[in-house]
Structure 1
């Protein structure tokens, strides 16, 4: 085992071996040798069952998880990644959340949790159906990082004392999740990244839904804010330009969305952004002249501005705008 591959929580990702033989191997993890498992605290354990229709043997997630608990000293586990849980056999994300929460006392050192570590070869991001993730934050009080990938997530307002990084990767993030974060209290949260997505896949968040986050009342330590992959990126930029939280950010990430000249103008004429260390706007629809103005203005203050991946709108008679986000389905 080497540390040159994918990592999570500062540790190499290694899958707890599922029963059966897969017809392919994903590129994010390597399954441990069943005869020589690594030390429990030396890796980020990835839990993933095999596809019901693409394996020589099928083990449902509840049985697989029970075997993991019986095999690995989970009291030493600090990082856990939840991959495929068996959507093809009817196992739901709710089941996985329930199992994790019931076993929370078995993970006293868990600080990093990735829910939905599923690559596109296994399932497209918006086909990953999530659940109410609020119980995870309520039960795992030592978490420092929660990463989530998929659609249909729910998250209510919570107070979490230790969480430092929160990331939602989605082709469509519900407005309820965005509001829930803004109404919660995260005194230690430094890094917040939300892929907002499009209506077609449940991304119905509005600028009004972002009000709590942009006010920053429950996010006193926030320094990195990513409001990304959005179809309303111009409106978000306009809101950022006058938001209270903006003045204390080091990094602002508005990438992956449909940011155009309107949003760029708002960034130029709103509150000063010269205190930022980085502004990320890769994958955008800003014109060349406006892009040069933005880079010159902020670059003169020492801000690193990433405006790579300038896109061209689709030529589509059914879509007058033609702009598109980087990740949807």
Structure 2
């Protein structure tokens, strides 16, 4: 599996691609769309992303924009996200209604997820204190020093390999309103080096008093993550636990079944896994009887050892 499609909806709004300079496409009302601003570096006469963003500022009533998406901003393996961060932070006063921002809506046909040149994206959280949802795709040179944000409810970090420093930075951040946390940890082949110890702030949930949806997924240490969650205090107040897209096998599921009750969950998402059929059947029998939705789709060969398993999204 790869990231093969762009976002079609963001913050409850349909995505609209801001057209290029030659287009005569009619624009929707500013508040009725999640606006995606992207450029194609392979055009005959490619536009730079800051120029496209300047056109957007001139053409759209940005005081009414609530959701914004940044797509390809250049040759993603070569051009850093810094040009985007600088342009958006400079225009912060133009977006008083902005509540949702996603950086890096880039598919594998444009750049593999591990090629996307990120950087320090936390200035965007400082620039937009009223954001409710923030997402970023790509882990190459991604930096996330600890921040405090009083409004954020959803945080999404998608990577094929996430550095431990990023995981620690997120864990040390203060997000008192956060309800939905989705982190793709990735594989060591592409830079993932976080350990279960680095996940401790998420497992205790001390800095996340309102967390209800926790996804620690797309990981090659998924069994270890599951074992840690089996006794983690945060689980008791979740409605959704997501350990999908990783290398989860029998060991991790046995730990979950032997740990604290999971019958209070609305959903347990384990899709793309390496769990044997007998144990999968047991898990379903124990949880679905209490109304828990369990996603066990995408079973891979359960007899693979840990070293032979793979995450759903890597390169």
CA distance in structure 2 between the aligned counterparts of 1:201 and 1:96, rounded to whole angstroms: 24
Cα distance, 1:88 vs. partner? 6.5
Counterpart for residue 321 of structure 1: 307
Counterpart for residue 8 of structure 1: 10
Counterpart for residue 298 of structure 2: 309
Check conservation: 2:35, 2:69, Cα contact below 8 A. yes
Check conservation: 2:77, 2:116, Cα contact below 8 A. no
1:155 partnered with 2:144 = yes
1:185 partnered with 2:174 = yes
Deviations 1:72-124 (A, max 9, x none): 21111111000010126954201211111111111110001110011122111
Cα distance, 1:16 vs. partner? 1.4
Check conservation: 2:77, 2:117, Cα contact below 8 A. no
1:71 partnered with 2:73 = no
Structural mapping, 1:95-110, within 5 Å: 95-110=83-98
CA distance in structure 1 between the aligned counterparts of 2:118 and 2:46, rounded to whole angstroms: 22
Cα distance, 1:322 vs. partner? 1.1
CA distance in structure 2 between the aligned counterparts of 1:235 and 1:92, rounded to whole angstroms: 33
Give the one of 58, 72, 82 matched to 1:84.
72
- C-alpha root-mean-square deviation of aligned residues, in Å? 1.9
Which residues of structure 2 form unaligned runs of 5+?
1-6
What is the TM-score when the length of structure 1 is the normalising length? Answer: 0.89
Counterpart for residue 43 of structure 1: 33
Check conservation: 2:249, 2:302, Cα contact below 8 A. no
Deviations 1:288-321 (A, max 9, x none): 1111121112223221111111101698xxx873
CA distance in structure 2 between the aligned counterparts of 1:56 and 1:307, rounded to whole angstroms: 46
> Are residues 59 and 148 of structure 1, via their aligned partners in 2, closer, same or farther at CA, if it must alter by over 3 Å?
same
Match of 1:321, SS? helix
Bigger drift between 305-314 and 196-205 goes to 305-314
Check conservation: 1:175, 1:209, Cα contact below 8 A. yes
Counterpart for residue 164 of structure 1: 153
Task: Between the two structures, name the one with larger relative contact order (CA 8 Å, sep ≥ 6).
Answer: 2
> Are residues 67 and 278 of structure 1, via their aligned partners in 2, closer, same or farther at CA, if it must alter by over 3 Å?
same
Runs of 4+ with >6 A deviation: none
Give the one of 163, 168, 182 matched to 1:174.
163
CA distance in structure 1 between the aligned counterparts of 2:77 and 2:223, rounded to whole angstroms: 41
Match of 1:205, SS? coil
CA distance in structure 1 between the aligned counterparts of 2:77 and 2:175, rounded to whole angstroms: 36
CA distance in structure 2 between the aligned counterparts of 1:8 and 1:118, rounded to whole angstroms: 14
Check conservation: 2:76, 2:115, Cα contact below 8 A. no
What is the TM-score when the length of structure 2 is the normalising length? Answer: 0.93
CA distance in structure 1 between the aligned counterparts of 2:24 and 2:153, rounded to whole angstroms: 34
Q: How many residues align?
A: 308
Which residues of structure 1 form unaligned runs of 5+?
21-32
1:136 partnered with 2:124 = yes
